[in-house]
Amino acid sequence: MVELMNKTNNKETVKIIKTPTQLVGETTQAVEKNSVFNTKNFNLWYGDHHALKDINLDIKENDVTAIIGPSGCGKSTYIKALNRMVELVPIVKTNGEINYRGRNILEASYEVEELRTRVGMVFQKPNPFPKSIYDNIAYGPRIHGIKNKKILDEIVEKSLRGAAIWDEVKDRLHQNAYGLSGGQQQRICIARCLAIEPDVILMDEPTSALDPISTLKVEELVQELKDNYSIIIVTHNMQQAARISDKTAFFLNGEVVEFDQTDKIFSTPKDQRTEDYISGRFG
Amino acid sequence: MAARERFDHEIGAIQSELLRLSNLSINALETSFNAFINKDLEKGREIIEQDAVINRLEEEINDRVILVMTRQQPVAKDLRRLVVLLKAAADMERVGDYAVNIAKETIRIGNERFITSVELLEDMCYKTTEMLREVVQAFVDENTSKAKEIAEYDDQIDEMYGNIISHLMRLSAVAPESIAQITYLSFICRYIERCADLATNIAEYLFYLKKGQRYDLNQ
């Protein structure tokens, strides 16, 4: 072919046109958001097992941050460290820093109760209390000393509306929450979390026990909640991470392999291990 | 077969289909051009009829790509691979359409004597079909340096196109009675030039597949 065309080879650099991802990246970077959780050189051990290694992650407010990775990579351990729930396991040791709104939560003087009021959590399996729907939601505010019936009613309605389940349960607020479907129970748990007006909501595989329609409802809810809350969600469902998150962190063997805009992670990840994982080559 | 293997296997099968489509289209272009040179009107009509096979093959590739996207929900390079297969199939199908267009001009010219030498046009078509063949191979082999090299030949095709069109325009001034044939020849020249542009597109798709960024090789 070269001989055929008899042309001097033009070695000019190939012109690269910017991808939409780059353009999006540039505009979002223009408005720098505040940090909610800034983790610096954080390590965690279960006895001798080094479960989280030198984690550095800066999670911004009003972002949905997805944490993905194969089983045992440390992603659930990491989010349980963010409200210090992980300490309930007696053999846990940690070092490094997890700064919540600028203050290191690992400091001995840090009020764990205060932290857990600011940082709510929703678990994999819906875990309502064996009480009425109303009492499930009013539980947290009552613990915080709210006794006024009118105020409690308002909180219950606001929280259930916020969790997009008010219309489904408003006529049976005093029935046991166990009578609801799994998807409804999970939204009750989200409402219970909203009732204490947290700043951050941690979600540990919140839809893995739900059917597709309930999953979609929870995903839509996450999108609505991000205007007022910062959400950190651990998920095994990569399509879910791609659909709902702004940023994604990929964990592998206790390390953060890559943390970037979700658009970037799912289109042009930097690390081959990320590409292999999201493409289903391992895990 | 594991899910990942099934995915790779299906991609391989779609690539083979693309190669088949490319061969059919490039052969159609070559045959159509030969029919034009030899005034083989019967061959020209065959090319027009056979285009349905090329169109069907492109539709099959589209269906298979959509099915893999639906069932496997690929991301990153896997997704880009399916997108570029879709685009390359569309471009190669277009080469088949240009072969049909050339055949139609051939029929319009009929048995009329050529008013000028078509040697330059012959050279241009030969080089374009070579470009197409090689770029499809480079695409399948994921050989970006080869693809870039081939795309650069497009400048020469453009230059040939410019020369031929200028010549035909001059001719139209001195032989106004042949304006119809001059127009048909200009169209054929244009179709071939477009085919070379499509070869450049295929090279660009390969860059996009490998790097995740769009490249303009047709500057």
Alpha helical stretches, state H, B39-118: 41-72, 76-109
Q: Which residues contact B118 (CB under 8 A, 6 or more apart)?
A: B36, B37, B185
pLDDT > 70? residue A121: yes
The verdict on a CB contact (< 8 Å) between B212 and A19 is yes
The verdict on a CB contact (< 8 Å) between A9 and B149 is yes
For residue B24, what are its two tokens? 């059919």
Polymer length in residues for chain B: 219
Q: Which residues contact B72 (CB under 8 A, 6 or more apart)?
A: A280, B3, B7, B78
pLDDT > 80? residue A283: no
Interface size A-B, in CB pairs within 8 Å, comes to: 71
How far apart are the C-alpha atoms of A79 and B132, rounded to whole Å?
53
Of A7, A22, A275, the CB nearest to B76: A275
Gap from A75 CA to chain B (nearest CA, Å): 21
Q: Is A237 exposed, middle or buried (0-12, 13-18, 19+ CB in 10 A)?
A: middle
* Mean pLDDT rounded to a whole number for chain A: 89
Give whole-number Cα distances, A156 to A116, A127, A170, A174, A195, in Å: 20, 18, 10, 12, 7
Q: What is the ipTM of this complex?
A: 0.73
pLDDT band at B71 (very low <50, low <70, confident <90, very high): confident
For residue B14, what are its two tokens? 């779609």
Determine the residue of chain B that is closest to A266 in CA distance.
B76
Of B72, B79, B150, the CB nearest to A1: B150
Q: Which residue has the tokens 């105020």?
A: A151
pLDDT band at A92 (very low <50, low <70, confident <90, very high): very high
Q: Which residue has the tokens 């093959």?
A: B57
User: What pTM was computed for the model?
Assistant: 0.80
Report pLDDT digits (tens) over B15-48.
999 999 999 999 999 999 999 999 999 999 999 9
Q: Answer yes or no: are the C-beta atoms of A185 and A216 closer than 8 Å.
A: no
The proportion of chain A whose per-residue pLDDT surpasses 70, expressed as a percent, equals 88
Of B127, B130, B217, the CB nearest to A14: B217
Of A4, A12, A278, the CB nearest to B127: A4
Residue A257 dihedral angles phi and psi, to the nearest 5°: -80, -40
The verdict on a CB contact (< 8 Å) between A1 and B155 is no
Strands (E), chain A: 15-17, 35-46, 49-60, 64-68, 92-100, 103-104, 119-122, 200-204, 230-234, 247-252, 255-261
Report pLDDT digits (tens) over A233-280.
999 999 999 999 999 999 999 999 999 999 999 999 999 999 999 988
Q: Which residues contact B10 (CB under 8 A, 6 or more apart)?
A: B64, B68
Q: Which residues contact B160 (CB under 8 A, 6 or more apart)?
A: B120, B123, B124, B127
Beta-sheet pairing, A92-100 with A255-261: unpaired
Residues of chain B whose beta carbon is less than 8 angstroms from a beta carbon of chain A are 3-4, 7, 72-80, 127, 130-131, 134, 148-150, 152-153, 155-156, 207, 212-217, 219
pLDDT > 50? residue A101: yes
